[in-house]
Structure 1
Amino acid sequence: MTREPHPIREPHRRPLIGITSYQDEAAWSVWRQRASLLPQTYVDAVVRAGGTPVLLPPQPGGAEHLVDALDGLVLAGGPDVDPARYGAAADPRTGPPHPARDDWEDRLLHAALARDLPLLGVCRGMQLLNVALGGTLLQHLPERSHQIVPAGFVRHPVAVEDGSRLAGVLGGATDVSCYHHQAVDRIGRGLQVTARSADGTVEALELPGHRFVLGVQWHPETDPDDDRLFHAFLTASQPRETTR
């Protein structure tokens, strides 16, 4: 009797995670030109946590179609959000606007929320989440408080709200790496503050009622010895179906 061959089982698909990226002047080899780029730490953090990262540079359209193909979305850190998006005049210390990136990430964010796609906002990403839901930002924190030296992360403790999703991941308090001169001011619709630093700065926001919508003011991707937040995000981003 001829034995039927066993069906080939495909390996478990790793979640496909979109990470928003910069468009800026960059230099490599003999070249210097405008490029789409992202710190490698984001890519490494997603890979360590079990995902497949794809870069999402600003572009004129296709956000809804793209989000349909993803299992999770990371809004990465970057330049200041344009104050015009929350109805404020620019402080002299606020960086120049990047309208293409602001618009692109805003469309990705709203498409992700509409589809209940897991979302992690990092630094600027958390600020954009707050602004997209009607909140505002403090455009400049006291000097040498959360941004001590250029291009240097500073570690400080944050207190996490009991009973929050973040507390379930990190516990009640933890040291984090930060680099920012702006912060959340008025809280956006539906968002809950779930962590603060000792000076009262908002360090984390969550949006209840969704699978995973969490923003942190710090940079968890820079700490390869603590992947708890990315692991929690990737767990929430496990594909709901085996094929697309």
Structure 2
Amino acid sequence: MRPIIGITTYVESATWGVWRDLPTTLIPHDYVAAVSQAGGRPVLLPEHEDTDVLGMLDGLVLAGGPDLDPRFYGAEPEPLTVTRPDRDRAEMLLARRALDMEVPVLGICRGMQLLTVAAGGTLHQHLPDVLGHEKHRPAPGVYGEHDASFEPGSRIAGLMGDDLAIRCFHHQGVADAGKLTVTGRAEDGLAEAVEDPDRRFVLGVQWHPEVVRDERLFGALVAAARQHRSS
């Protein structure tokens, strides 16, 4: 049986067929396809503040999405910060409980930021104010392309090998990684990967590996999920 991988979801207004602007629980199909292609059984997780579902999961993907509420790291929202409070509360509970239970976790974009804040870290709320450029979110729907550098001996360095190209889309970023270790950076010094070397599998990446169905990262999550199931 394939390991069961939960994927967090959005609630957004969506239109399809004869239906218009309905509040809808959804996630880009790339996440589902990437987990399935890597050998996992994807299960979508709607917003819910009950974390008991983790007892049925072998691994967890914290997906991308809107900004995380700055109050989780002791700051007030800035003008360009856009949050989803219900999702923030539910996913913060889920992330913290997953860490406590040693459930393997892969955080993607917002998911990496969520992992960081769950581990006591903080975020920059608008990167152009800090970095002086828009290269991490160059235009609506356009990914920023970077060459990252990875810490030798880290999990992400072992997974990525000589392939340093990443594609990202975000206007916030990690300021302080808290208890996590920054193991990857963009050329401007911004954290692009974090991990917890003391846990079985806790990895966050600021880019979007699901878009290219990157089996290195999703395969590593599935492998850790198999170990979690058998332990």
Shared fold per TM-score greater than 0.5: yes
Q: How does 1:49-198 map to 2 (within 5 A)?
A: 49-59=38-48, 61-63=49-51, 65-95=52-82, 97-142=83-128, 143-171=133-161, 174-189=164-179, 191-198=180-187
One-letter amino acid matched to 2:97: A
For 2:107 and 2:215, locate their aligned partners in 1 and report how far apart those are by CA, in whole Å. Answer: 15
2:200 is the alignment partner of 1:211: yes
Bigger Rg, which one? 1
User: SS at the partner of 2:189?
Assistant: coil
1:177 to 1:35, Cα distance in 2 relative to 1, 3 A: same
Q: Deviation per CA, 1:144-167: give whole Å up to 9, x if none.
A: 220011012222110010010111
1:239 Cα shift? 5.4
1:99 Cα shift? 1.3
Match of 2:6? 18
2:31 is the alignment partner of 1:45: no
Could you list the runs of 4 or more consecutive aligned residues of structure 1 that deviate by over 3 angstroms after TM superposition?
239-242
1:62 Cα shift? 2.3
8 Å contact from structure 2 (residues 151, 183) kept in 1:
yes
1:31 to 1:130, Cα distance in 2 relative to 1, 3 A: same
Structure 1 residues not aligned, in runs of 5+: 1-12
For 1:137 and 1:172, locate their aligned partners in 2 and report how far apart those are by CA, in whole Å. Answer: 28
For 2:202 and 2:162, locate their aligned partners in 1 and report how far apart those are by CA, in whole Å. Answer: 19
One-letter amino acid matched to 1:108: L
Match of 2:223? 235
Structure 2 residues not aligned, in runs of 5+: none
Give the % identical residues.
Answer: 51
User: SS at the partner of 1:237?
Assistant: helix
For 2:143 and 2:211, locate their aligned partners in 1 and report how far apart those are by CA, in whole Å. Answer: 9
Match of 1:201? 190
For 2:125 and 2:168, locate their aligned partners in 1 and report how far apart those are by CA, in whole Å. Answer: 16
For 2:218 and 2:167, locate their aligned partners in 1 and report how far apart those are by CA, in whole Å. Answer: 15
TM-score by length of 1: 0.89
Q: Deviation per CA, 1:107-132: give whole Å up to 9, x if none.
A: 11111111111000000001011111
For the aligned residue pairs, the C-alpha RMSD in angstroms reads 1.3
One-letter amino acid matched to 1:73: L
Deviates more, 1:172-181 or 1:71-80: 172-181
Q: Deviation per CA, 1:58-99: give whole Å up to 9, x if none.
A: 12x321x2000000000000000011111112111111x211
One-letter amino acid matched to 2:185: R
TM-score by length of 2: 0.94
2:20 is the alignment partner of 1:34: no
Q: Which has the higher helix share?
A: 2
8 Å contact from structure 1 (residues 159, 172) kept in 2:
no
